[in-house]
Structure 1
Amino acid sequence: MTDTQALLDSLRGAVADRRVPGIAERTTLARIEDPAVLRKAGKLLARLDPEDHDLRPLRVAVLATCTIGSFEQILRASLVGAGVLPTIEPGPYGMFELTLATGGFADSGEPDLVACLLDESYFLPPEWDAVDVDGFAEHVRKRLADLRDLVLSAVDRFTSTVVLHTVPLPAQVRDSVIGWRSRAAVARAWAGLNEGILALAEESRQVAVADLVSVLADAPFAARDDRLHRYGDLPYTDGALFLLAREVRRFAQAKTGLSRKVLALDLDNTLWGGVLGEVGAQGVQLGGLYPGNAYSEVQRTARRLRDQGVILVLASKNDAAIVDDALTSHPDVLLRPEAFSATAVNWGPKAENLRGAAETLGLGTQSFVFLDDSPFERGHVSAELPEVAVLAADGDPAHIVRTLLSHGWFDVPDLTDTDRQRPGLYRTRALRSDFAGGFGSSEDYLHALGVELTVERASEFSVARVAQLAARTNQFNLTGLRFDEAATAERIADPGRLVATFAVADRFGDEGVIGAAWVECGDDVWRVENLVLSCRVLGRGVELAIAAWLARQAREAGATTLEGRFVPSKKNGVASGFWSKAGFTDAGDGAFTLALTGDAVSTPAWIKVLEGNEVPG
C-alpha cells in the first residue's frame, strides 16, 4: 500500500468514526502537493463531522467569476491539514457581483473568509480590437474600479475578510496582439490591473491578496487547460487551484493563529556544508561558490525570518565549545550565537532537546518547525513529536530555502512591533532564570525584577497586535472567543465597550504588548468577554494586576459588578483558577462575579501599574 493510499484510508476511517484526523495524519496532509490526492482527500473530508475536536472552526464562502471545479475539495483538504475545521459554502454560479454586493451568503451568518476565484473574463471586454490597445486598457481600468468599489463596499457592511488574487493574462490574449509595442502595452495594462488588486490590501484590513501570478510563474503546474476551459468554464487547472488554495490556507492559518513561532535548525549540512567535528570550522562549506553560497542563503533567510519575529533555536549533535567557536570566529557565519533564543548543542536525542527548548521558551512544541538533513533525526522527531513540522534539508542545498519557505509556516496577517521584538524577548527568559537563582524567595525575586504593567485603550495602531493575541493565545485564553481585526475594531469604536491592551517591562527589558481584554461596559455590570495573556509573563502576578485594574475601572465608571467567564478547552487549563484566585465568586455554569466594593482585587505589591492613555469606558 502506498503512503498516499494509507493516508486516504486513514482519513476515511476518521470520517467514519466521527473523529478528527490525528496530528500525524494532518501533518502528512499538510505536506501533500499532489492536487489529485488533495481532491480525493477533500471529498472524503466533506463528510467530516467530529463529535469532539480541537481544530479551529472556520466558515469560508467561495465566490467565483467562473466554475470553481475542484477548488472546494482541494481547499478543504489544505485547511484540515493546517488544523482548521472548515465549513465551505460555494456561491451560486454566475452571481459573483450580486452575492458580494448583497451579502447573499449571510443567510446563515457571515463567513469568516470570502475566498474569491477570479478569471480574466471579469476584466476583458466582451469583444476587443487588437488595434485599439488604448480602448482595451481603459476597459480593464474600469473593471478594476468596479471590483474595488464592490469589495470595499462589501467589507464596510460585514466583518468577513475578503481574499482576492492577481489574475494571469492568458496567452491567447497576449499573443493575439502581433505588434511588439502594442503587446507590451497590453501587458502593461494587465500589470496595472494586478497592481490595483494588490493595492486593495492597503485600503482595508479586511482585504487580503495572494499574488497568484508570481506563484504560478514559480510552479511546475500549467495554469490552464484550454479544453476544460471551453468545455466547462474552468479557467484553471487543478494544479493552479492547488496553488491558490495553498495561498488561502496560508492566510487562514495566519488569521486563526495557527502559524508557527519557532524555527529549530540543525547545523551540519543544514546551516553549512560538511561535518564540523570532522573538518573543523575552516573546512565547512559556507560562502563563496556553490555549495557554500547555498548554505549562506539558508542562514540569510533564517536571519531574515528572525528579523520578522521568528524565534531561532539551534539543535545540533555536536560539542558545544566547538560550535560556539565556529559560530563566533568563522568570517562567513551570518547567525552568530546571539541570534539563537535557545541552544541545544549536545549528543542527546533531538526530540528531547526540542522538548527542552520549548520548556525554556515557555512555548508548546506545536509552535516548532524543525529543519534537519538527517532522515533518522527527522523520523525520530516526527515519531516522538508529530505536532512539529519537520522539513528535509538533505539533497541539493540549493533547494533548502524553498523547502523552508514554501509552506508559509510563519505567516502573520500583519507584522507588529512585538513580532519583531519576539526573538530578543524570549532570549531574556534565560537571563531571568539565572537572575532568580540568587534570591531566598519568589517574592524577593519579583520585587527585584521591577515589573511594570502599562495599560492602554486599544487603537487603530494596536488592533493588529490585539487580534493576533486573540488568534494565537491558547493557554491563558479565558473564553476562547477569538475576535479578529474587524470585530476588534468594531468594539474599539463602540462607546459601550472597552478593548484594553497590557504591556509588561522589567529590569531585563520590555516584553511589549502581551495581553488584551474585551469588555462590555454596562451601567451596572461590566462583563469581560475575553481576557488573553501571553504565557511568557505568567508567574509574575500580571494577571492579578489586570483583574485589579479592570475592577477599578468598572467601579469608577459607576458599575457595581464585574463579571467574567471561563470556558475550558484542551489547552487553557493553566487559567482555570484565575477568577477564583482574583477573588471572584463562582456563579456556576462558567460564570464568576465580583462585587465592586472597596479594593475588590489588590494589585501585587511588586507591580507598578501605568496608564498609557485615557482608558475608562
Structure 2
Amino acid sequence: MTTGLERLRELKALGRLEAEYDRVAPLLAELTDDPGTSAAADLPRAGRLLAGLDRAAVLAAHPGTPVVTVAVTGQSTVAQLVDPLTAELARHGLLLHPVLGDHGAYLHDLTSEQGLFHGLGADLSLCLLDAETVFSEVPLPWDVAALSRAADDVLERLTGLAAEHARLAGTADGTGGTLVLNTLPLLRRHTHQLVDHRSRAQLGSVWREFNAALLRLTERFPGLAVIDLDPLIAETGPVSDPRLAGYAKAQYTAPLLAAYAREAAHLARSLRGMTKKCLVLDLDDTLWDGILGDAGADGIAAAGTLRGEAFGAFQRTVKQLGSQGVLLAVSSKNDAEPVLAVLRDHPDMVLRETDFVQVNANWRPKDGNVADIADRLGIGLDSLVLADDSPAERAQVRHGAPQVSVVPLDDEPALHVTRLLADGWFDTPRLTDEDRARTGQYRVERERRELREGSGSHAEFLRELKVGVELSAPLGHEFARLAQLTQRTNQFNLTGLRLAQADLEARAADPRQLVLAARATDRFGDNGLVGAVLGHRAADGLHLDNIWLSCRVLARGIEQGCVAVLLERAREAGLAAVHARYRPTAKNHRVRDFYPSLGFEEVSEEVEEELGEDGNGAGVLLRHDLRTVPPVPEHLTIDARIERLDEHDPNDEHDPNDGHDGLGGDRR
C-alpha cells in the first residue's frame, strides 16, 4: 500500500506538488491517523520535501492558502527547525514562510532597526534558546555564584527583549506577532563539571529558578509565549548529540526539534482562530472497556480492572478538558436509553450526562451524526474533533465530513490520553472565565432552542427571548477574552482580522481608536462577552475597521442593534459619515450584505494587494451618509456607553492609520 509520504514524493517528482497543495494536509494526516505508523520519522522527511516548495506557485494555484510568516533565531544553529515546522504547519493547511536569523544574534535580529526581522510582520518570532545562552556568559573557572549572576543577567536581557517586542508590536514597522521563548535544559555535562554534590544541588536550584522566572514572564507580557521543554524532553529522549553540538553548534536533537515544532505549530494554529471547540467521543472501547450492547451495563468498566483503570484515566483527562471550555459530545452506535442510564448511574463513570452538551446514541452513520452535533451546537464541522477506536468509523468521518479532525485510538487504552493530547487541538493562548462557563452556556442554549422550536415565528421567539446588550469600552480583565474572540471568530468577522491581547490593549489606550465590547443577556441568563467593535475617528467621520460576533448569538439582532446605535451616536456627534469595509474570507461570505442591509453603500473596491492573509478576493469599502439611520430592533434593549465618539475633535486631520493598511497596521 502506497503511503502518504510516497504519494508526496510522487507529486514532487511529477512537479505537481504546488498545483495539488490541497492534497498535502490529507496525505500528512495519514502519517499520524494510524497509531502504528512511523510518523515521528516520516513527518520531518515530508517537511524536507515541502520546504522546497515555490510559495508563489502554491498561492497562484490555491490563493486562499493561509501563509504563516515565522522568524527563527536563537543562541545556536536553528536551520534544522525548518523541515519539521514546515510539515507541522502543512498538516493543518498552513504554508510556512520562514526567515532565519544570524547565528547567536537573536537580540539584534529581534530588536534592532538594522535587524533581519525589522518590518517583517512575523506571525511568530521563535527565539530558540539553549544552555549555552547562560553558560556562554560564565567565566572560567566558574562556580554556582558565577552561574547565578550570569543567569540573572540573561533573565534581565530576555525580560528587556520581551518588553521591546511588546513595544514594537504596536508600531507599523515592528516585528509584530507573538514572541516565543523556551526553558533551558540543564545537561549532565554541565552539572558534573562540579565535583561536589552540594554544589550540584545548588546549581539545579538556581537553574530551575531561572526557568520558573522565564515562564512567569508570560504573566507580564501577553504577546509572549514560553515553551517548556521539560515535558517534551521526557517524551523524546536525549536533548543533544555531543558531536552535533560540538561541531555544528546544533544543541538539540531532531526528535526534540520536531516536538518543539509541533508546539509552535499549535500556537500558530490557535492564533489563526483554528482552535477546536468540541470533542466528540465514541463510547464502546473508547470511553469504557467493553461493548454495552453485548455485555450490558454490568459488563463494561472504567475502573476496577487493569484495562478499566486506563479508561478511567482517559475519562478524567476528558473531564479536565471539559472544565476549561471544551464542549463534550457523544456519537455512538448504541441505543439511547442504555447509554443515558450508564452516564447517569454507572459507578465507574467519571463523566456524567451533565458533562455533555449533546449525546447522539443511535444507529445512523457517524459522519451524519457529527454533522448533526455541529448543527445543534451552531458551530462548524471544522470545530469538531472525533476520538474513536474504530478505523472504519474514522474512515467514514474522514470521507463524509473531512472538516472534522480525528484522534486515532486503538485497542490499547493506556495510550488514549497520549493520543488525545498529541495535537493540542484545544490549545488557546489564554483561558478566560467565559471558557470555563461554556458548557453551562451551551446547556442553556438547548432551552433557547426549545423556545425557538415552540414559537410561532422567529420574531415571536426574539420577543420572548428578551435580549439585552451592553456596549462599552472593555474592562481590564476582558482583553484576554476579547483577543480570543477576534482569533476564533470566523463567520461574523467582516475582514478576517485577528488581534493579540497586546494589540487590543494598545488600541484601547490610544484616544483616537474605538474599541468596544458587546455583552449579552437574555431570559435564560448571561451570554458573556460575545462581540467586539474596532474603529477609529478621522476627518471624514467614523471608520468601522472590523466587527466580530460569536456564532452562539447570531441572528438575534445584536449585530444590527450595535451598528444602529453607533450610527445614531455618530450622527449626534455631528460626524459627516460612517465608513466600513468588508473583506471576504473562506467563512464570512454569509455576512457579505450585512452593511448594505443597514443602509451602507459601496463606494469602491479594495485592491487585492491590500488584503489581509485571510482575504479571498477583493474587498469593498462602504459609506453611510447618516441621513436615515436604522432603528434598533424592537425586541432588543441596548445600554451603550461610547464616550470616545464625543471626546475626539472631528476636525482633527490626523488619521491614526496613516501609513498602515487601514486596520492600525496589523495585517494578521
TM over 0.5: yes
Residues 104-156 of structure 1 deviation map (CA, whole Å, 9 limit, x = unaligned): 13444332211011111110156656773222222222222222223323322
* Paired residues of 2:25 and 2:90 also in contact (CA < 8 A): no
TM-aligned CA deviation for residue 205 of structure 1? 0.5
Instruction: Give 3-state SS (helix, strand or coil) of 1:408's partner.
Output: coil
TM-score by length of 2: 0.88
Residue in 2 that maps onto 1:327: 343
2:622 to 589, 592, 599: 592
> Is 1:214 matched with 2:231?
yes
Give the AA of the match of 1:96: Y
Kept in 2, the 8 Å contact 1:459–1:492? The answer is: no
Q: Equivalents in 2 of 1:337, 1:10: separation in Å? A: 48
Q: Compared with structure 1, are the counterparts of its residues 407 and 166 closer, same or farther at alpha carbon in structure 2 (3 Å cutoff)?
A: same
Report the counterpart of residue 519 of structure 2 in structure 1.
503
Q: SS of 2:437's equivalent?
A: helix
Q: Is the 8 A contact 2:86 2:96 kept in 1?
A: yes
C-alpha separation in 1, matches of 2:428 and 2:389: 27
2:27 alignment partner, one of 25, 28, 43: 25
Distance 2:237 2:42 in 1: 13
Tell me the amino acid that sits aligned with residue 107 of structure 2: E
Identity %: 34
TM-score with structure 1 setting the length: 0.95
User: How many residue pairs were aligned?
Assistant: 615
For the residues of structure 2 that align with 1:323 and 1:488, how far apart are their CA atoms? 46
Cα deviation, residue 459, structure 1: 4.0
SS of equivalent residue, structure 1 residue 357: helix
Q: Deviations over 1:273-312 (max 9, x none)?
A: 1011122212211123422221111111111111111011
Q: Does 1:407 align with 2:423?
A: yes
* SS class of match (1:462): helix
**Structure-2 change in CA distance of 1:153 and 1:297 (3 Å):** same
The structure 2 residue matched to 1:384, chosen from 397, 400, 414, is 400
The one-letter amino acid of 1:528's match is: L
- Of 201, 208, 211, the residue aligned with 1:191 is 208
Pairing of 1:180-259 with structure 2 (within 5 A): 180-217=197-234, 219-259=235-275
Equivalent position amino acid for 2:164 in 1: S
Aligned equivalents of 1:256, 1:613: Cα separation in 2: 29
Amino acid at match of 1:192: E
Partner of 1:602: 631
Contact 1:212 1:243 in 2 (8 A): no
Residue 9 to residue 504, structure 1, CA distance change in 2 (3 Å): farther
Match of 2:66? 56
Code of the aligned partner of 2:165: A
Q: Which residue number corresponds to residue 575 of structure 1?
A: 591
- Describe the shift of the 1:588–1:29 C-alpha distance in structure 2 as closer, same or farther (beyond 3 A): farther
Which residue pairs with 2:649 in the alignment? none
Q: Which residue of 2 aligns with 1:317?
A: 333
Q: Deviations over 1:246-298 (max 9, x none)?
A: 11112111111111111000111111110111222122111234222211111
Instruction: Report the secondary structure of 1:532's partner residue.
Output: strand
Matched, 1:290 2:306: yes
Please, which of 446, 450, 459 is the counterpart of residue 443 of structure 1? 459
What is aligned with 2:438?
Answer: 422
Report deviation, 1:209.
0.4
Find the residue that maps to 1:105 and give its secondary structure: coil
Residues 26/575 of structure 1: CA separation in 2 closer, same or farther (3 Å cut): farther
**Letter paired with 2:3:** T
Structure 2 counterpart of 1:25, which letter? L
**Deviation (angstroms), 1:59:** 1.6
In the TM superposition, residue 202 of structure 1 has moved relative to its aligned partner by 1.3
77 and 557 in structure 1: CA distance in 2 versus 1, 3 angstrom threshold = farther
In structure 2, distance between residues paired with 1:329 and 1:213? 40
In the TM superposition, what is the alpha-carbon distance from 1:616 to its structure 2 partner? 4.0
CA 1:10/1:270 → structure 2, altered by over 3 Å: closer, same or farther? farther
Please say if residues 518 and 528 of structure 1, whose CA atoms lie closer than 8 Å, have aligned partners that are also in contact: yes
Q: Partner of 2:472 in structure 1?
A: 456
Q: 1:430 to 1:436 in 2, by over 3 A?
A: same
TM-aligned CA deviation for residue 561 of structure 1:
0.6
Quick check: 1:367 aligned with 2:383? Answer: yes
Task: Tell me which amino acid in the other structure corresponds to 2:245.
Answer: H
CA distance in 1, matches of 2:592, 2:28: 29
Alignment of 1:35-50 (within 5 A): 35=41, 37-47=43-53, 48-49=55-56, 50=59
C-alpha spacing 1:137/1:229, structure 2 compared with 1 (3 Å): same
Distance in 2 (CA, whole Å) between partners of 1:99 and 1:66 is: 13
Q: Is the 8 A contact 2:489 2:548 kept in 1?
A: yes
- 1:15 maps to which residue? 17
Distance 1:67 1:21, change over 3 A: same
What SS does structure 2 have at the residue aligned with 1:477?
coil
- Matches of 1:271 and 1:612, distance apart in 2: 49
Deviating more after overlay: 457-466 vs 249-258: 457-466
Contact 1:263-1:313 within 8 A present in 2 as well: yes
- Write the mapping of 1:344-363 to structure 2, written as runs, cut at 5 A: 344-363=360-379
- Determine the C-alpha separation between the residues in 1 that align with 2:517 and 2:601: 25
Q: CA deviation at 1:21?
A: 4.0
The letter of the residue matching 1:435 is L
C-alpha distance in structure 2 between counterparts of 1:130 and 1:379, whole Å:
61
- Deviation, 1:549, is 1.6
Distance 1:285 1:30, change over 3 A: closer
Distance in 2 of aligned mates of 1:254 and 1:190: 30
Distance 1:404 1:140 in 2: 37
- Equivalent residue, structure 2, for 1:84: 94
Cα 1:198–1:501, aligned 2, differ >3 Å: closer, same or farther? same
Provide the C-alpha distance between the structure 2 equivalents of 1:257 and 1:43, rounded to a whole number of angstroms.
27
| Structure 2, unpaired ranges of 5+ | 170-175, 606-619, 647-668
Query: Secondary structure of the equivalent of 2:385?
Result: strand
> Structure 2: how far apart are the matches of 1:99 and 1:11?
34
Q: Rate the CA distance shift 1:269–1:189 in 2: closer, same or farther, 3 A.
A: same
**Would the alpha carbon gap of residues 529 and 16 (structure 1) be closer, same or farther in structure 2, given more than 3 Å must change?**
same
Q: Does 1:150 align with 2:174?
A: no
Choose the corresponding residue for 2:149, options 138, 148, 153: 138
Cα RMSD for the two superposed structures: 2.2
Deviations 1:534-553, CA, capped at 9 Å, x for gaps: 12212211111011122123
The whole-number CA distance in structure 1 between the counterparts of 2:547 and 2:76 is 43
1:341-375 deviation line (CA, Å, top 9, x unaligned): 11211001111000111111111111111011111
- Change in Cα spacing, 1:479 to 1:19, as seen in structure 2 (3 Å) is same
Question: What SS class does the counterpart of residue 116 from structure 2 fall into?
Answer: helix
Aligned to 2:657: none
What SS class does the counterpart of residue 454 from structure 1 fall into? strand
Q: Distance in 1 between matches of 2:32 and 2:589?
A: 28
Partner of 1:122: 133
Q: Deviations over 1:411-468 (max 9, x none)?
A: 0100012212222222333322221233222211110110111112124322222221
- Give me the whole-angstrom Cα distance separating, in 2, the residues matched to 1:208 and 1:513: 24
Give 2:186's match in structure 1, choosing from 169, 174, 186: 169
- Report deviation, 1:167: 1.1
Equivalent runs, 1:413-562 vs 2, <5 Å: 413-562=429-578
Contact 1:35 1:74 in 2 (8 A): no
What's the secondary structure of 1:34's corresponding residue? helix
Contact conserved, 1:61 with 1:105, CA < 8 A, in 2?
no
Deviations 1:512-533, CA, capped at 9 Å, x for gaps: 1111111112244111111111
CA distance, structure 2, for counterparts of residue 613 and residue 422 of structure 1: 28
Contact kept, 8 Å, 2:89 with 2:96, in 1: the verdict is yes
Aligned to 1:3: 4
Question: Offset of 1:571 from its aligned partner?
Answer: 1.3
